[in-house]
């Protein structure tokens, strides 16, 4: 058996059912090891797309998403997805082909020092130099990717190591599968947290981060109902709590509801579960004082290194979200906070009620309002980065498991994420929202949707500018436009060239029929919205 076949068997043993790749000669032995096996090999068009698909798959499953790329430019292209996994706390393993073991240090063809390249992003970077160590290193990689605060691991695979043949008696077995439990909240800490919530006058629960599963999301809902606590979610974690629930307070992210920002500042007790409350949700590190918040902060996080990293909590608990919620469930509340919940939810409903009228023949205000009416909560909605996402996050009523989006703010993410979601949940409709700049960073991956016949609907929000950057440019350097205009293709014609259905919307009245027609397609479809560049955010214009 050679190293490539052994590595394929190790991935099987870890329960991997799908990998995303762009093929390369540096890891042909691994591709050969996967040939005819049970693991689905999805071929992306760009390594950045493959890595983002793997990251999104990790979000969706809670197990490490797997990407495979070649050395040098393949690895540097994939770095964008590794960065998303690091910022979003997503388990992921990137397998990178590498030059032969005897060539290191000679600046060989496409040689890269992967420890130097990925050392600041990945939780662990290793090169497997002996095929006999593949099972050991793969096991360790999965442990690291899943433990504490999850994140990406990068394994470099020298080409000659993968092709080297060894007697099977010399090779260790590929298993067993890695399962990472806990950490779990102790009874004393759960009691202290319950006491602090019972004493609170203005409490607020904030949910974020990763290591949530369906059971933990249900437990959070039950916990909020039992204690009648208002629950907010951090930036692009709107899939953790149903927006239609009477305890929902809204999302703490870009374009935050001013009433919710005030509620965070004025709370006397904050229960932060799973999140780190970094720059975006903290509104530039302004909602909590550093290092000691004014609010009594109960910080629950599975990574011990995150407790006290920025904010010194009144009570720090190293635990998964589910472990904490299971422990505190044993403590019956001494009081409830129904009024706080009612006020918080009413403020959310007012903020997200109806999008303000926009400028131009086609407006995101009208499109999102109609889209919201048609959604039932079983769909999956993805997006990348751009001002178009403000309408989506503010006005769409997200249900649990409905949102897949990058807290890293990476452009180009929405389409690869939608592909991963559609492959993982073929029974569900998947919508990928993208700006014109965002879409063109990974639009070639639309071919993957056509190849696999996925029920994926891409909505391209085309205003012919890099909208977010233009907004900041007009604020800081009014009237001095540079590097933010774009000349775009006919996106609908482009999608049809792949053999997909596509619809162009040039007036608000056309969007309902375009959406209906796209949803009726048994396969991928694209809707091209031709927007006015002046309409830069809900209720905001470029001129303003």
Collapsing DSSP to helix, strand or coil, 232 comes out as: strand
How many other CB atoms sit within 10 Å of the CB of residue 164? 17
Longest CA pairwise span in the chain (Å)? 73
Residue predicted with more confidence, 110 or 414: 414
Model confidence at 519, pLDDT cuts 50, 70, 90, reads very high
Strands 540-541 and 535-537, by their bridges, are antiparallel
Question: 194: which 2 tokens?
Answer: 């319950």
The pLDDT value given to residue 167: 81
Average pLDDT over residues 521-539: 96
Residue 150 has pLDDT above 80, yes or no: yes
The pLDDT value given to residue 421: 98
The pLDDT value given to residue 303: 97
User: Mapped to the 3 state alphabet, what secondary structure does 454-497 carry?
Assistant: CCEEEEEEECCECHHHHHHHHHHCCCCCCCCECCCCCHHHHHHH
The pLDDT value given to residue 457: 98
State how far the Cα of 278 lies from the Cα of 274, in Å rounded to an integer. 12
pLDDT tens track for 322-380: 999 999 999 999 999 999 999 999 999 999 999 999 999 999 999 999 999 999 999 99
Model confidence at 412, pLDDT cuts 50, 70, 90, reads very high
Average pLDDT over residues 111-136: 95
Average pLDDT over residues 284-290: 96
How many other CB atoms sit within 10 Å of the CB of residue 214? 11
Residue 166 has pLDDT above 90, yes or no: no
State how far the Cα of 298 lies from the Cα of 317, in Å rounded to an integer. 8
Give the helix/strand (H/E) hosting 157.
Answer: strand 152-158
Distances (CA, A) of 330 to 186, 193, 273: 12, 12, 17
The pLDDT value given to residue 104: 86
Average pLDDT over residues 118-141: 96
- How far is C-alpha 299 from the chain's CA centre? 22
The pLDDT value given to residue 169: 80
State how far the Cα of 230 lies from the Cα of 331, in Å rounded to an integer. 18
Average pLDDT over residues 487-496: 97
User: Across all residues in the chain, what is the average pLDDT?
Assistant: 96
Q: Give ∠ CA 453-456-458 in degrees, rounded to 5.
A: 130
Residue 430 has pLDDT above 80, yes or no: yes
pLDDT tens track for 5-62: 999 999 999 999 999 999 999 999 999 999 999 999 999 999 999 999 999 999 999 9
State how far the Cα of 343 lies from the Cα of 230, in Å rounded to an integer. 9
The pLDDT value given to residue 171: 80
pLDDT tens track for 196-246: 999 999 999 999 999 999 999 999 999 999 999 999 999 999 999 999 999
Q: Structural domains in the chain?
A: 3-170 (3.40.50.970), 187-351 (3.40.50.1220), 364-541 (3.40.50.970)
Residues in the chain: 544
The residues pairing with 93 across neighbouring beta strands, listed in sequence order, are 66, 153
The pLDDT value given to residue 324: 98
Model confidence at 168, pLDDT cuts 50, 70, 90, reads confident
Average pLDDT over residues 486-506: 97
Model confidence at 159, pLDDT cuts 50, 70, 90, reads very high
């Amino acid at each position: 058996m050679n190293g490539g076949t052994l590595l394929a068997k190790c991935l099987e043993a870890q329960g991997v059912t799908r990998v995303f790749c762009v093929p390369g000669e540096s890891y042909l032995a691994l591709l050969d090891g996967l040939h005819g096996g049970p693991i689905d090999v999805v071929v992306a068009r760009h390594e950045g797309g493959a890595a983002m698909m793997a990251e999104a798959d990790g979000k969706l499953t809670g197990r490490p998403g797997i990407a495979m790329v070649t050395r040098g430019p393949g690895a540097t292209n994939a770095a964008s997805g590794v960065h998303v996994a690091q910022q979003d706390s997503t388990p992921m393993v990137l397998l990178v082909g590498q030059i032969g073991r005897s060539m290191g240090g000679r600046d060989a063809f496409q040689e890269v020092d992967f420890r130097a390249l990925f050392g600041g992003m990945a939780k662990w970077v290793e090169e497997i130099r002996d095929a006999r160590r593949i099972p050991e290193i793969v096991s360790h990689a999965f442990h690291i990717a899943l433990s504490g605060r999850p994140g990406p691991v990068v394994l470099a695979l020298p080409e000659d190591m993968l092709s080297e043949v060894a007697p099977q008696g010399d090779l260790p077995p590929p298993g067993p599968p890695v399962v990472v439990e806990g950490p779990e909240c102790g009874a004393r800490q759960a009691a202290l947290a319950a006491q602090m919530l019972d004493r609170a006058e203005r409490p607020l629960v904030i949910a974020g981060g990763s290591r949530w599963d369906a059971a933990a999301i249900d437990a959070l809902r039950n916990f909020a109902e039992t204690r009648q606590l208002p629950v907010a979610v951090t930036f692009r974690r709107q899939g953790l709590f149903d927006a239609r629930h009477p305890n929902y307070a809204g999302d703490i992210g870009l374009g935050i509801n001013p009433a919710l920002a005030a509620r965070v500042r004025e709370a006397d007790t904050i229960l932060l579960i799973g999140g780190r409350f970094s720059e975006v949700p903290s509104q530039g590190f302004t909602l909590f004082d550093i290092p000691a918040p004014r609010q009594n902060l109960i910080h629950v996080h599975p990574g011990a290194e995150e407790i006290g990293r920025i904010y010194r909590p009144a009570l720090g608990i190293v635990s998964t979200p589910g472990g904490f919620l299971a422990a505190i469930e044993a403590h019956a509340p001494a009081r409830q906070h129904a009024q706080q919940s009612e006020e918080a939810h009413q403020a959310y409903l007012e903020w997200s009620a109806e999008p303000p009228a926009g400028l131009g023949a086609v407006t995101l205000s009208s499109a999102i309002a109609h889209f919201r009416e048609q959604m039932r909560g079983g769909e999956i909605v993805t997006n990348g980065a751009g001002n178009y996402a403000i309408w989506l996050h503010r006005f769409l009523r997200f249900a649990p498991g409905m949102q897949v989006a990058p807290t890293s703010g990476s452009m180009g993410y929405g389409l690869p994420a939608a592909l991963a979601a559609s492959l993982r949940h073929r029974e569900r409709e998947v919508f990928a929202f993208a700006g014109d700049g965002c879409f063109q960073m990974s639009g070639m991956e639309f071919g993957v949707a056509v190849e696999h016949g996925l029920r994926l609907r891409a909505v391209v929000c085309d205003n012919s500018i890099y909208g977010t950057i233009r907004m900041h440019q007009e604020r800081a350097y009014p009237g001095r436009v540079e590097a933010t205009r774009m000349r775009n293709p006919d996106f609908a014609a482009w999608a049809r060239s792949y053999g997909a259905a596509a619809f162009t919307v040039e007036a608000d009245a056309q969007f309902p029929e375009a959406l209906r027609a796209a949803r009726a397609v048994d396969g991928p479809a694209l809707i091209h919205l031709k927007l006015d560049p002046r309409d830069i955010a809900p209720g905001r214009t470029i001129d303003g």
